[in-house]
Chain A
Amino acid sequence: MLKVTGLSKAFALDEGAVRAVDSVGFEVAQAQCFALLGPSGCGKTTVLRCIAGLEQPDAGTIEIGGRLVTDTARNAFMPVHERPIGMVFQSYAIWPHLDVFENVAFPLRVQRPARPSREDIERRVMEALALVGMEAMARRPAPRLSGGQQQRVALARAIIRKPALLLLDEPLSNLDARLRETMRRELSGLIRQIGITALFVTHDQVEALSLADRVAVMNEGRVVQQGAPADVYDRPRNLFVARFLGAANVLSGRVEAREDDGKARIVLDGSGHRMLLDSDGRPGEPVDVVLRPENLALMSDPFIESTSSIPGRVASVSFQGGNVEYEIDLEGGSRLRVHARAPARAQADQAVRILIDAARGMVFKATDMSRTVDPAAFRNTDDDPSQVPPYLGTDRRR
């Protein structure tokens, strides 16, 4: 349904920085839900806006539903209002001077050439509102809507024309945590229910992994890896993707030797612990080992030896409802995060051993970036305050 090839765009921001989208290409099949995932500034929103027709790329082609909407080589550019798309903006862009009904009816009212009849509009708007659960608020003025309500209205408005492609710009990032979960499920359900092709951009990997059928991870203007969520999560192509897609403990080390079964024996810096992991690393090569917290387990008995367990001392225990997160200090200074189910089985300062599921460990060639080992440094940035929806000035409890 959507085909993007060789999309490139460079532009200077006010502060002088240059942001670029560099040769991005991907395809979204019919009725598929595709996510563009990446940190702020990676260019994902630019890609989305180019697809929508809100920006013109420097190079590349975009096809929607088989129609070429952008082709820089042929200087072809279909203006935004002719594209068969619906879009939910990050700020929702609900028009403050119209009520809910009129906001959703807008695309039908401006339709050319054949504008639907009044009864038709009424019916279709109420249908769309019912889909998103807002039919009771049809006459509410826009400024009196909460964040979640605005999002539903935006969604209803985006799908009312039954477009070929639905675009969503950070659809859940402005909602509070509880609402986010609810909306995520609803959104997912809705998209499947109407069978629409959807593309959304986000910096939240949980959003991407849970909503999308396919994910493309972007960084610094490039698509770094594409694939099904599980694939990208379990088999990240590089350290960046590994760290971005989920929590990651990164330990630096060196390949000591290769084993016969294709595994590599890796010795960790600092603690000197050795482990066997799937890797093609050659002896002497410096590597970064990524261990996901959920693939680690805690053993309270410090005396059980195992080649795939590391001794450590509990630095902190954090209760998170159904889960417990331990921070364990290893000998040599590294710190690991371990996720386990509640209740907590260890306390602070306790000596423990960490069991490692070696099959799930990932090994990467060491890069400059990965020399800093503190996993906390890569916690996702929440709620960028500059992204607050702009035009509802009254108290908005998130």
Chain B
Amino acid sequence: MHSVLRRALAIAGAAVLTAFLATTAHSGWTDSPKVKALYEAAKKEGKVIVWGTHPREVNWIPAAFEKHFPGIAVEFLGDNDIAVKAIAEARAGRHQIDVFWSSLTGTLPVAQRDLTAPSDWSLFGVDPRNTAFDGKMGFTSNIVYVIIYNKKLMNEADVPLKWAQTADERLKGKATSSSFLLPRLVGALALAWGEDKALAFARDLRDKTGVLLTRAPRESLLQSGERIIAIAEIDSQARHYIAQGLPVGYVVPEPVVMGQFGASVMKGAPHPNAARLLAGFLASVEGKRLREKATDQLDYGPTAENVLARKIHGGELQVVFDRTDNMVAREALFGKAAAILTGQTP
């Protein structure tokens, strides 16, 4: 009895210690003196303005940030054209943005024009692998391309698990895809397959599968049964549909095509300290967790702890990463793929 009890206590104590260490390890950065100083300076500035690609991507931030760093008001703007606006505003000498949240390719034009400023991400516990543009951008989350299918009309076992399998006559008349996303998918696949095979894939999708390319909400096509599967969708969107009650499921086919999103501090930020604080917060583990809860967008980076992330970085899957070194190549084929898919070129 004694020894059992002692062992139990030891285990319990170890567990408590581990938990304690774990929490301090995570929340450690909020207590660091540098961050505290940053916070004080930010509080004096009183406000921070963040721009994102869609209101839903940023409208959760004020409440979340407030909890951790009270006293700083957060204003946000969510729009497709933030890059153009940021550039136009900077050129006109009006600097309104503190933090710029977008994809790698979305941030590129802004970074290229030297409108973003480097930040010390390590302050916030961010692994250097999760940064880009020489430390000017801190990663917050990823998307992966998925296939969404109507659960009532198709079995999970029948859903293709490789992109190449979607170019199949058996799927004729059953597939739809976004005219916005499919060309991007093809462009990314060219990195894994080479340009010729990727374009041939696009042709097959068009001719063999007869994919219905549209900007209409694909979920309404799935819902009505007009089509059964939607190729080249976003995983967070899929989770969103399921949460809304749509009878769909999704799979992540190989090669896994990833998209990278992150936050950057603007060079002309009117509230530089608050900007750095917010950007770092968004790139931190806490920020990522809160983002996941609010927008269904996960982090699949090397430090992430979910199943898919581990598989991706564990080498189990063929992956096309979204990185600064392959960004341009990915987009190069976009035009050609789109032209094929829309029937402009044979």
- Do A and B touch, yes or no (CB under 8 Å, in the complex)? no
